[in-house]
């Protein structure tokens, strides 16, 4: 076990809640099922509670840690051999730089609640080098990722993630499994990039469309997309201009975006 687990006080500004329950740690490792020869990256290793068991299963491990004190302790911990520590902000990290030719990364981590959503979008922009992701997140965020059309949780994150990945919530984790305990329930979720995603003509246009559509989710699409999408284009995609964004399924959004891409000069 890493020595860092004994001498670091969690820092609120980094959103640090360290997982300490050994049964939950074992459950995560079992669900993730790391194998030798795989290129695995742990995001936010913290005190190394997941890092040690991961290293016992693989040849080498890359970790990304923002806290310079924790990064130093991880580097100095002689029980953590074959560990490559990347110190810095994961929101600015290039995962493309870690993947070799024809190599895919497996990602795992207990994500800080305060960056989990922007981090997911950051990872989606580099999805071509990612094999799968197993993350612990705030349950509310995991619920939004897996939300079905027409539900209160269904929104921009749901659409952007589901068009790219298959999502599978694995199990919930109670606050008492952490030090300090968060005020919310957590969920471990697996995200698997689709092998045959729906074809998008223009990913940037799709992202812009979804951002705009859900920017004022109580308004009709006629109002919220005014100046961006004409009513006749919505109708051509099989979407009523009087509908709201949260009632439109992922396939319909893809169809609309592709029509817009074809019409764009």
Quote the pTM value: 0.90
- Contact between 104 and 131 (Cβ < 8 Å): yes
Q: What is the pLDDT along the chain (265 residues), one digit of tens a residue?
A: 343 444 555 444 444 678 999 999 999 999 999 999 999 999 999 889 999 999 999 999 999 999 999 999 999 998 888 999 999 999 999 999 999 888 999 999 999 888 999 999 999 999 999 999 999 999 999 999 999 999 999 999 999 999 999 999 999 999 999 988 888 999 999 999 999 999 999 999 999 999 999 999 999 999 999 999 999 999 999 999 999 999 999 999 999 999 999 987 6
- Contact between 202 and 261 (Cβ < 8 Å): yes
Does 203-263 match 3-193 at the fold level? no
Domain 3-193 is found in CATH 3.40.50.150: yes
Please tell me the class of the 203-263 domain. mainly alpha
Helix, strand and coil in the chain, % to nearest 5: 40, 20, 40
- Nearest-angstrom CA–CA distance, 242 and 25: 48
Buried b (16+ CB within 10 A) or exposed e, 17-55: bbbeeeebbeebbeebebeeebbbbbbbbbbbbbbbbbb
Q: Domain coordinates of the chain in residue numbers? A: 3-193, 203-263
Nearest to 146 by CA among 127, 128, 159, 133: 159
């Amino acid at each position: 076990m890493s020595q860092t687990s004994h001498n670091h006080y969690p820092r609120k500004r980094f959103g640090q809640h360290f997982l300490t329950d050994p049964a939950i740690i074992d459950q995560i490792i079992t669900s993730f099922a790391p194998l030798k020869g795989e290129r695995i990256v742990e995001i936010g290793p913290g005190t190394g509670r997941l890092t040690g068991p991961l290293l016992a299963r693989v040849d080498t491990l890359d970790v990304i840690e923002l806290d310079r004190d924790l990064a130093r302790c991880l580097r100095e911990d002689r029980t953590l051999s074959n560990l490559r520590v990347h110190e810095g902000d994961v929101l600015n990290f290039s995962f493309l730089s870690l993947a070799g030719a024809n190599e895919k990364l497996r990602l795992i981590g207990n994500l800080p609640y305060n960056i989990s959503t922007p981090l997911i979008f950051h990872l989606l922009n580099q999805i071509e080098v990612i094999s799968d992701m197993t993350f612990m997140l705030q349950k509310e965020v995991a619920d939004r990722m897996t939300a079905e059309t027409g539900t209160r949780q269904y929104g921009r994150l749901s659409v952007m993630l589901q068009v790219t990945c298959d999502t599978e919530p694995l199990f919930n984790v109670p606050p008492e499994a952490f030090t300090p305990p968060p005020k919310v329930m957590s969920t471990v979720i697996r995200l698997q990039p689709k092998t045959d995603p729906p074809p998008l003509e223009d990913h940037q246009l799709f992202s812009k469309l979804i951002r705009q559509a859900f920017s004022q989710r109580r308004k009709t699409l006629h109002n919220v997309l005014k100046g961006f999408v004409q009513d006749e284009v919505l109708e051509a995609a099989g979407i009523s201009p009087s509908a709201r964004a949260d009632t439109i399924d992922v396939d319909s959004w893809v169809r609309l975006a592709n029509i817009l891409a074809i019409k764009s000069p």
